[in-house]
A and B are shown apart, each in its own frame.
Chain A
Amino acid sequence: MQRYILRRLAQLVPTLLLITMMVFALMHAIPGDPARMMVGAGDSLDEAQLAVVRREYNLDRPVPVQYAIWLGRALTGDLGRSSANQRRVGEELLLRASVTFELGLFAWLIAAAIAIPAGVIAAVHRGRMPDLVATLVAVGAVAMPGFWVGIMLILLFGVRLGWLPTQGYVPLGSNFGEGLRHMVLPAVALGITSAALMMRQMRSALLEVLSLDYIRTARAKGLAKWSVVIGHALRNAMLPVVTVMGLEVGRIFAGAVVIETLFGVPGMGRLMVQAVFQHDFTVVQGCVLVMASAVLAANFVTDIMYTVLDPRIRYGG
């Protein structure tokens, strides 16, 4: 087990390197002079100033050298300064990433909290009313884009009913109640698609397990219906659900780009969108590093979860 964990960890390193390398190459594949792109189109900086920019960001050197310099500094924790606003990328990311993690975690918890019970109920009542309702809602939720759900939530709960704030962000640390109130709508908008997918997975996995022999045996022993479902079936059915839940971390990060912009949540998604539009290479690179690390970490945890949930899964060294 320990060796397995170590090996999986070691595998993360080349993946991460490859991702940062690809992003670096992509940013430099934008046609035109990178210094000009970096400072924005137009007349804003003249040649003497562009020369300063090139020197500062090593743009006058070959791309592989630039990457090596970036990587060397990144290993010491220095991600450079934003070319758009001169702020330190590391500090900025720390602030923004914590916001996105907060939002993402909240969205993910909401999704799981809806999906698992709904999936169980749908499976147990297969083909009957609760199943149909849950399936219909889930299909709808998958089909609705998050930003549209977000606007509808704003109109209903923010403008019409006035229950929840429509935009902005309050750190949970500074005012827990207000922070939570600001987080509810974006988290629901962000989590709703994931909830639907997780629910579908829960339902089909549970149905499969419920048709197995050992469940029939458990029933035959005279165990109560729900104690069979919860005590015997659920744990085995969770395996594919955990896989989906792990994969949903990636989707939630991707969705945060849109949802953060809609709700004015100052997270990493918005930071990255703005940086891409401003051709702020250093910030984009930093964001990708953090996001890729988070998704890889989620996959890693999912793998480990398998062995915990199903002792039959043993990985040889």
Chain B
Amino acid sequence: MARSTSMNRRTVLKGATLGAGSTVLLARHGRAAADKPQYGGTLRAAYQLAPGALDPVVGRSGGDAYYWRQFTDPLVDADPALNPRAATSLAESWDVSDPKSVTLKLRKGVVFHDGTPFDAAAVKFNIERLLDPATKATPRAAFGPVESVEALDEHLVRFRLKRPWGSVLGTLADRGGAMNSPAAVKALGADYAFKPVSTGPFKIAEYVSGSKVRFVRNEKYWGRDEAGNPLPYLDEIVMNIVPSETVQVSALKAGELDLVYLPYREVSNFLGSSAYNIQSFEGGAIACTLSFNWAKPPMDNVNLRLALATAINAEGINKAAFFGRAIVAKGGMWPTGAWAYDPTVPRPSYSITKAKEYLAAGGKPGGFEMDALFWPSETNTAFAEIIRAQCAAVGIKLNLKSAEVTVATEKFYYGGEAPMFITSWSRYPEPDWNASLIYRSDGYYNAGKVKNEKLDALVDEGAATVDIPRRKQIYRQVDEIVLGQALMVPMIYGVTYAAAQKTVMGVENVFGWDAKMYLHRMWLKKG
């Protein structure tokens, strides 16, 4: 079977240097790597939100990954640039060369935490479970191309496809690719949502409602490190639910926690201190983006969209709302570090003169007034206000309307209630997720459901193509249209910062491909 790992050398290298924000960090990182991992200990980490559910398939909160990632392995894992990574995958190899099917060769000797063997029948059970509407599985739509699943033999499984599935590998790296024990699912019914049984390096020891999730080492774990030592190194992980970022940071300083992600306002204090291990991940999110309803006046006018996008000085937003610790977006909705990221595509950039020219071309030389929706948070409120002030400078008067995030999202994309939405976006390095959902005419996040035939054709071609260099070309063309017509214009790419006590080793591996915590490789230095 041909193993399709069509990553190119450049993206691999780019992925490898991710997470090292500066040469200083690189030097630290190098020293840490020289140490021999020690076994044992409890790592105390923190995250803001309680899990929606612990079963990766039914949880609907993006933050659930902080939990399920620790006790699962994906069918096909991905590195931070979203190139497939067989070493940490449940499938040893895969064949995606046939547009009508995907075949996975499964790793042998893997068992679920309850002793149920992981085999082709288990994969079939899992995929059929998430395709059943009654499961209410979050990733069901992403598995839309799957017609049926067959177990060819004990360790060979084939997905029959309705249509070509270019994003298959990226999709299998996400929650739908995490495997649940069929025996436990059948035995527990609805209670399975909080008592999941999977294959990963840790298993759930207890969930204290609203307080913490405690994971313990899976003694039967299949994974090995590069030197052949069994994984994981830690005995336990406690993921504390600490809603306030301020309190997370003070708890780290007080020595009550070992590992947290830093809010932007704290980053400078920590980078200046040598008391902690710090790592960063560029492009961990789209921290600020302008989303337009292309059907709703005045944002149905391409020149007025361009006027607005060029009136905004992203550098100023970065300084004022992100303390200069994020990065100004140079490409589209596929951020730095994703293979689809392309900073050479022409895009609107800050220029008052240009903005005024676009206003004139759009028939509103004196400017115009419109509503803009946003959802309030410390950072979002700050950048929404800055954007309003910057727009006012060219005569565009924004009436900011705020609503809680779910309501605002639904109002804008489903209700069509405003011409513009100022928001942030998760890191979706698999380009088809954004392409199908934002740019395609029937995508949920295409607020005006505007049809652009060329864009639809490109999105479909990208979704059906497996070869990454070819897909890169397709998504470049997509970006040319999206940025050229200001359909959706990211302003700031986020940088995720992790801070850990000096005793925590392997912090350079803390970021999963979505920048969320991945604790499989952490260890604690004693003495």
List residues of A whose CB falls within 8 A of some B CB. Answer: 30-32, 36-37, 39-46, 48-49, 51-53, 81, 84-87, 92, 95-96, 151, 154-155, 158-159, 162, 165-169, 261-264, 266-267, 270-271, 274, 277-279
Within B144-202, the residues touching A (CB, 8 Å) are 190-191, 193-194
A167 touches B136 (CB 8 A): no
A257 to chain B, nearest CB (A): 11
Note all chain A residues with C-beta closer than 8 A to B212.
168
Which of A39, A159, A169 contacts B211 (CB under 8 A)? A169
Q: Is B351 part of the contact surface with A, judged by Cβ < 8 Å?
A: no
- Which chain B residues lie closer than 8 Å to A86 at the CB level? 53, 58, 190-191, 193-194
B60 touches A48 (CB 8 A): no
Residues of B within 8 A of A30 (CB): 407
Contact partners of A274 in chain B: CB under 8 A: 49-50, 210
Bound: A262/B243 CA distance, A: 7
Taking CB atoms and an 8 Å cut-off, the chain B residues in 463-521 that contact chain A are none
Contact: A48 with B133, CB < 8 Å? Answer: yes
Contact of B53 among A49, A84, A155 (CB under 8 A): A84
| B53 CB contacts on chain A under 8 angstroms | 84-86
**Taking CB as reference atom, which chain A residue is nearest B191?**
A86
Q: Which B residue sits closest to A81, measured CB to CB?
A: B190
Subset of 20 A-B contacts with CB under 8 Å: A32-B407, A43-B445, A45-B136, A46-B140, A46-B141, A84-B60, A85-B53, A85-B194, A86-B53, A86-B191, A95-B209, A158-B250, A158-B251, A162-B254, A166-B251, A261-B244, A262-B243, A264-B211, A270-B210, A274-B50
Q: Would you call A264 and B406 a contact (CB within 8 A)? A: no
- From residue 232 to 274 of chain B, which have CB atoms closer than 8 A to chain A? 240-244, 246-248, 250-251, 253-256
Q: Is the CB of A43 within 8 A of B247?
A: no
For the complex, is B404 an interface residue (Cβ under 8 Å from A)? yes
Name the residue in B133, B141, B193, B254 with the highest tally of chain A Cβ atoms < 10 Å from its Cβ.
Answer: B254
- In the complex, the answer to whether B209 meets A53 with C-beta atoms within 8 Å is no
Q: In the assembled complex, which residues on chain B have CB atoms less than 8 Å from the CB atom of A261?
A: 243-244
CB pair B136–A266 under 8 Å, yes or no, is no
* Interchain CB contact under 8 A, B250 and A264: no
Residues A158 and B254 in contact in the complex (CB < 8 Å), given A41-B413, A86-B194: yes
Query: Which of A53, A84, A96, A159 is close to B210, meaning CB atoms less than 8 Å apart?
Result: A96
State whether A155 touches B250 (Cβ < 8 A).
yes
Given contacts A96-B209, A167-B247, contact A84 B136 (CB under 8 A): no
Q: Is the CB of A85 within 8 A of B247?
A: no
CB pair A262–B244 under 8 Å, yes or no, is yes
- A264 near B209 with CB under 8 A, answer no
Task: Give chain A residues whose Cβ lies under 8 Å from the Cβ of B210.
Answer: 96, 266-267, 270-271, 274
Give which listed residue, B136, B194, B243, B248, contacts A87 with CB less than 8 A: B194
- Residue of B whose beta carbon sits closest to that of A32: B410
A82 to chain B minimum Cβ distance, whole angstroms, is 9
Contact assessment for B444 and A42 in the assembled complex, using a CB-CB cutoff below 8 Å:
yes
Which chain B residues numbered 28 to 83 have a C-beta less than 8 Å away from chain A?
49-53, 58-61
Contacts of A81 in B (CB 8 A): 190
Q: How far is the CB of A304 from chain B (nearest CB, A)?
A: 33
Cα of A46 to Cα of B140 in the assembled complex, Å: 8
B209 touches A92 (CB 8 A): yes
Q: Which of B52, B240, B409 contacts A84 (CB 8 A)?
A: B52
Give the nearest-CB partner of A55 in chain B: B134
| Bound: A133/B326 CA distance, A | 48
**Complex interface bits, B427-444 against A, C-beta within 8 A gives 1, otherwise 0:** 000000000010000011
Contacting residue for B250 out of A32, A51, A95, A159, CB 8 A: A159
Tell me whether A42 and B254 are in contact (CB under 8 A).
Answer: no
Q: Which residue of chain A has its CB nearest to the CB of B409?
A: A41
Q: Is the Cβ of A36 less than 8 Å from the Cβ of B250?
A: no
Q: A85 touching B437 by the CB < 8 A rule?
A: no
The reply to whether A168 and B211 contact each other, CB–CB distance below 8 Å, is yes
Q: How far is the CA of A95 from the CA of B61 in the complex (A)?
A: 22
What is the CA–CA distance of A95 and B211 in the complex, to the nearest angstrom? 11
- Say yes or no: is B24 at the interface (Cβ < 8 Å to chain A): no
Inter-chain CA distance A158–B252, complex, in Å, is 11
Chain A residues with Cβ under 8 A from B2's Cβ?
Answer: none
Contacting B240 at CB < 8 Å: which of A53, A264, A279?
A: A264
Measured CB to CB, the closest approach of chain A to B189, in angstroms, equals: 9
Which residue of chain B has its CB nearest to the CB of A53?
A: B136
CA–CA, A264 to B137, complex, Å? 29
Minimum C-beta distance from B338 to chain A (A): 20
* In the assembled complex, B414 has its CB within 8 A of some CB on chain A: yes
B208 CB-CB contact with A under 8 Å: yes
Picked from A42, A85, A263, A266, the residue with its CB within 8 Å of the CB of B409 is A42
Give the CA-CA distance A299 to B199 in the complex, in Å. 53
User: Are A85 and B211 touching (Cβ within 8 A)?
Assistant: no
Cβ of B429 to closest chain A Cβ, rounded Å: 18
Nearest B residue (CB) for A86: B193
Q: How far is the CB of B266 from chain A (nearest CB, A)?
A: 13
Query: Residue A49 contacts which of B140, B244, B251, B413 (CB distance < 8 angstroms)?
Result: B140
- Within the assembled complex, what's the spacing in Å between the Cα atoms of A165 and B250? 10
- Whether A159 contacts B60 by the Cβ 8 Å rule is no
Name 5 extra pairs, CB < 8 A, besides A262-B247, A264-B241, A266-B209: A43-B437, A49-B133, A49-B136, A261-B243, A266-B241
B402 interface residue per 8 A CB criterion: no
The answer to whether B243 touches A168, judged by C-beta atoms less than 8 angstroms apart, is no
Residue of B nearest to A56 (CB): B136
Task: Look across to chain B and name the residue whose beta carbon is closest to the beta carbon of A41.
Answer: B409
Residue of A nearest to B257 (CB): A167
Which residues of chain A come closer than 8 Å to B404, judged between CB atoms?
A: 277
Q: A52-B134, A85-B52, A166-B256 are in contact. Are A270 and B406 (CB under 8 A)?
A: no
Question: Shortest distance in angstroms between B133's beta carbon and chain A's nearest beta carbon?
Answer: 4
Query: A261's closest neighbor in chain B, by CB?
Result: B243
